[in-house]
Chains A and B, each alone.
Chain A
Amino acid sequence: MEQIFLVAEETFSAVVCFILVWFLIKPYLVTREGRYLGLPLGFGILGATYALAAFAHSYPIFMDPDFSVNDLTWLQLIARPFAFAFLTFTYYFSKKPSKNTHLIWNVILSALLVAVTSLIILVFVAPNSAFGNYRFLSMYIRGFNIACLLYISIHTLRSHLKTQDSKTITTPLGYILLGISQYSLLVWLVDGSTKFPFYGGLVLRWAGLILFLIIAYRTFYGIPKKEL
């Protein structure tokens, strides 16, 4: 039963992320600025890691109970921080004039893509033991994810304070929820005595992703603003 819930939860998260990618590619398509590619890339990788996790959870239930899903679990673990890194760099560079920073952004984008590809290859080539303990690595990665989400939350919160517009408060709220979700999962990894932080973290992740979906839906399909 728990496995089925996890499959459903990961699948739902993946679907929401892929829908978000469709909306988040639009700023790049209209402006043609590479620095906005980080948003669809970030949510795309995030969606892919949730899809991998769903597959890893579902394989033993629906297909082969003896199948080892270690590789897939490792893969989603090491790919997820790259998603948050893409998002963080996008927010960081969004406040800089593109003329001065587009070269640095291109270098960072290429480096991240090379790093994530190399790690994916490494997961399949090297034995799992090469990475050491899954639980410990998972803790460090969650710490990194929290740091990224903290930066993005502060950045978006400052943007909201600058605009003083009620419609911009949802984004920092979404990122804060994702951050608390990561923190909850970290608490569960450290403590592990109860599953409450684990399920709480999953619910918070849903809430955060749904908030982003609401923002996108309201912007593109909401009632059009009266023209000035």
Chain B
Amino acid sequence: MKKIARRDKMKIYGDLLSILKAETSLTEKIVLVRIQTKLNVPFDRLKRYLSDLEELGLIEDQISFALTEKGKQYLAEYRTVLDFMERMGIAYR
């Protein structure tokens, strides 16, 4: 695995939602291994994060992995805030 800086849960959720949104718009069948590679986390932890997202109501289920309205809203806000932090010269890691 490539070495990346430690991320907190919020960042991982944000990254995972971004990846899921991109993947669901590209293909109907989501391959978890591809998500795992892109997110760069162990498989068991990926499963845990996906369960968390489902519990939080951010994704519909663990078959389609489609983002709910709440998930889309969270992702939009997350991206805006990240953009704001970047503009303000603050790194989020």
Contacts and interface: CB of A to CB of B under 8 A. Distances in A.
Interface of A: 23-24, 26-27, 30-33, 36, 39, 90-91, 94-95, 97-99, 152, 155-156, 159-160, 163, 165, 167-168, 170-172, 215-216, 219-220, 225, 228
A170 B83 CA distance: 13
B1 interface: no
B93 A39 contact: no
A97 B10 CA distance: 14
A112 B9 CA distance: 28
The 9 tightest CB contacts between A and B, nearest first, are A156-B89, A159-B89, A219-B84, A94-B90, A30-B81, A171-B89, A31-B10, A215-B87, A26-B81
Given A97-B6, A219-B83, A30 B88 contact: no
Contacts of A33: 8, 10
A177 B70 CA distance: 40
A220 B84 CA distance: 8
B89 A97 contact: no
Contacts of B11: 31
B84 A31 contact: no
B86 A163 contact: yes
A159 B11 CA distance: 20
Interface of B: 5-6, 8, 10-11, 22, 77-78, 80-81, 83-93
A168 B86 contact: yes
B87 A170 contact: yes
A215 B83 CA distance: 10
B88 A215 contact: yes
- Which interface residue of B6, B78, B85, B93 has the most chain A CB atoms within 10 A? B85
A167 B90 contact: no
Given A27-B81, A219-B87, 9 more contacts: A27-B85, A30-B77, A30-B81, A39-B88, A94-B92, A98-B8, A99-B6, A159-B91, A215-B88
Contact of B89 (A26, A30, A168): A168
Contacts of B92: 27, 31, 94
A226 to B, nearest CB: 12
B5 A91 contact: no
B78 to A, nearest CB: 6
A90 B90 contact: yes
Nearest to A36: B90
28 contacts: A24-B88, A26-B81, A27-B81, A27-B84, A27-B90, A27-B92, A30-B10, A30-B78, A31-B8, A31-B92, A36-B90, A90-B90, A91-B89, A94-B92, A97-B5, A98-B8, A99-B6, A156-B88, A159-B89, A165-B86, A167-B86, A168-B86, A170-B87, A171-B89, A172-B89, A215-B88, A219-B87, A225-B83
